[in-house]
Amino acid sequence: MTSARWLDDEEQRSWRTFGLATRLLLDRIERELQEAAGMPPTYYELLVLLSEAPDRTMRMSELARWTHSKPSRITHAIAKLEQAGWVRREHLASDRRGWVTVLTGEGLSALQAAAPRHVASVRTHLIDVLSPEQIRQLGDISETLLKHLLPDD
């Protein structure tokens, strides 16, 4: 049995403050997005991905991959977005078993209405409270974590 490599006081402080700060930050931004735009962050993220995709269209499997979600979760979210008229699902022309999701004009309008409020929330609760150097450091730290945590494709 290997002994644990315990955190020292500074590491423990950093770990705990990082955990609490990220939970509080995400909770605040998610709550404000829900209140302002009537959509949870998952729906917003899906609309953003679709708005940036060629022809505002993506395969369902790609949406799941980009959001690190299970296909069943994406299917459920897309069904809700479809009910709202923000997306539509179509069979993939080259593969009748495959499905694509298309962002509708209504969906693009909903995203355009939500985006200014969402970015204001991100700016208020993250960007504007950090110095330019801290923002650069946050980006560097986040990239390091992503390289470690994301699977090699």
CATH number at residue 144: 1.10.10.10
pLDDT classification of 118: cutoffs 50, 70, 90: very high
CA nearest neighbour of 74 among 98, 97, 102, 46: 46
pLDDT classification of 46: cutoffs 50, 70, 90: very high
Residue 56 lies in a domain: yes
Residue 84 lies in a domain: yes
Residue 13 lies in a domain: no
Residue 12 lies in a domain: no
Question: How many Å apart are CA 77 and CA 75, to the nearest integer?
Answer: 6
Residue 53 lies in a domain: yes
Burial of 29 (0-12, 13-18, 19+ CB in 10 A): middle
6 token code pair: 């315990």
Residue 7 lies in a domain: no
Residue 99 lies in a domain: yes
Q: What is the pLDDT of residue 55?
A: 96
Contact (Cβ atoms closer than 8 angstroms) between residue 101 and residue 89: yes
Q: What is the pLDDT of residue 1?
A: 62
- The model's pTM: 0.87
Question: How many Å apart are CA 94 and CA 19, to the nearest integer?
Answer: 45
User: Which residue range is the domain that position 53 belongs to?
Assistant: 26-149
DSSP for 1-41, please give it. Answer: -PPP----HHHHHHHHHHHHHHHHHHHHHHHHHHHHHS--H
Over 80: is that where the pLDDT of 130 sits? yes
What average pLDDT does the segment 4-31 reach? 96
Residue 63 lies in a domain: yes
Q: What is the pLDDT of residue 30?
A: 96
Over 80: is that where the pLDDT of 95 sits? no
> What confidence tens digit (pLDDT) does each residue in 50-86 have?
999 999 999 998 999 999 999 899 999 999 999 999 9
The structural domain count of the chain equals 1
A 10 A CB-CB count for 10 gives 8
Query: Please, what is the average pLDDT of the chain?
Result: 93
